[in-house]
Amino acid sequence: MGLLVDGQWHDKWYDTEKHGGRFVRSESQFRNDISPTGRFKPESGRYHLYVSYACPWAHRALIFRRLKGLEQHIDVSVVHPLMLENGWEFADTPLHDPLYNNDYLYQLYLKADPNYSGRVTVPVLWDKQEQTIVNNESADIIRIFNLAFNELTGNHDDYYPPSLREEIDEVNEWVYNDINNGVYKCGFATRQQAYEEAFTDLFAALDRVEAILAKQPYLAGAQLTEADWRLFTTLVRFDAVYFGHFKTNRQRIVDYPNMWRYVRGLYQHPGVAETVVMDHIKQHYYGSHKTINPTQIVPAGPDIDFNQPLE
């Protein structure tokens, strides 16, 4: 784990002490759009997506690539599940970098900006033409995938429809703060109080989701939207890693009847199960955070059947 400072790699863990033991996530820095009139145009074969199967943020992008039929137009590279002293690394095929044969993901960031300062995160949407990063913020990448390539693919499915945008933005706000990022706030807290605050907020938000799903099938109502996919990537990791490794253990997702049905429904959506790679997920979390799990032992359980029929 580390970061780049003026183009130099430093092996450094998150500094929680300056925030009273709290984990504070930094903002992504490459935030360009893809549009017919802009610098980055929607073209087949021009862009490349770098992900980790372990990462819930990168997972959103992978799901949208599949939902929007972009596999033929945007290739993907997957990094090695362990993120240690050199950050995300490439390894032997198929976990290699087919474009530049880099050893480390930070080399890609340096190619985009030799003086880059900041964290080196996945996902990365890369432009092969300009050899730079278009965008490294998953919330943006899924919206780009949702719309920008529609003319190319003929797929007009809309996961951020204008009529529901206000509702979706409102849900995203608390789901992001208290659940998507909330599990990290629990797991990376270095003081008891910081952990307990995050834990309380997390389970209040999960209870809220459970109550919403008692009344309607999806977070924004009757229609499946990006708000659901953003929540899904956290829920699908919850019982296998966050519950144990991040100490989010008041209850599991399987213990919430509505959420357990909902997460299975999303998992069983065509093409989604193939984007869930549980051994990368478990290896990454239990193996990469030595401050939390010094032995790096990966638990053998639990056994979760996301394919269980939806009754």
Ligand X SMILES: N[C@@H](CCC(=O)N[C@@H](CS)C(=O)NCC(=O)O)C(=O)O
Residues 91-120 contacting ligand X, CB under 6 A: 119-120
Which of 89/137 has CB closer to ligand X? 137
Residues 5-34 contacting ligand X, CB under 6 A: 28
Return d(Cα 90, Cα 96) in angstroms, integer: 5
Give the one residue of 1, 125, 183, 263 binding ligand X; rule: CB under 6 A: 1
Which of 122/175 has CB closer to ligand X? 122
Q: Which residues are catalytic?
A: 55, 184
Does 122 contact ligand X by CB under 6 A? yes
Which of 61/205 has CB closer to ligand X? 61
Least distance to ligand X, CB of residue 121, Å: 3
Contact 73, 145 (CB under 8 A): no
Does 275 contact ligand X by CB under 6 A? no
Least distance to ligand X, CB of residue 211, Å: 26
Which of 160/221 has CB closer to ligand X? 160
Least distance to ligand X, CB of residue 118, Å: 9
Does 238 contact ligand X by CB under 6 A? no
Does 121 contact ligand X by CB under 6 A? yes
Return d(Cα 102, Cα 83) in angstroms, integer: 15
**93 among the known binding-site residues?**
no
Residues 31-70 contacting ligand X, CB under 6 A: 55-57
> Segment near ligand X (CB under 6 A), from 40-48, 131-139, 152-160, 161-169?
131-139
Least distance to ligand X, CB of residue 286, Å: 14
Q: What is the DSSP string of the chain?
A: --EEETTEEE------GGGTT---PPPPS-B----TTSSS---TTSEEEEE-TT-HHHHHHHHHHHHTT-TTTSEEEE--S-EETTEEB--STTSS-TTT--SBHHHHHHHH-TT--EE--S-EEEETTTTEEEE--HHHHHHHHHHTTHHHH-----SS-GGGHHHHHHHHHHHIIIIITHHHHHHH--SHHHHHHHHHHHHHHHHHHHHHHHH-SBTTBSS--HHHHHHHHHHHHIIIIIHHHT---S--GGGSHHHHHHHHHHHTSTTTGGG--HHHHHHHHHHH-TTT-TT-PPP------TTS---
Least distance to ligand X, CB of residue 294, Å: 19
**121 among the known binding-site residues?**
yes
Return d(Cα 206, Cα 178) in angstroms, integer: 9
Give the one residue of 89, 97, 137, 239 binding ligand X; rule: CB under 6 A: 137
**120 among the known binding-site residues?**
yes
Does 181 contact ligand X by CB under 6 A? no
Binding footprint of ligand X on the chain (CB under 6 A) = 1, 28, 55-57, 87, 119-123, 137-139
Annotated binding site for glutathione: 88, 119-122, 137-138
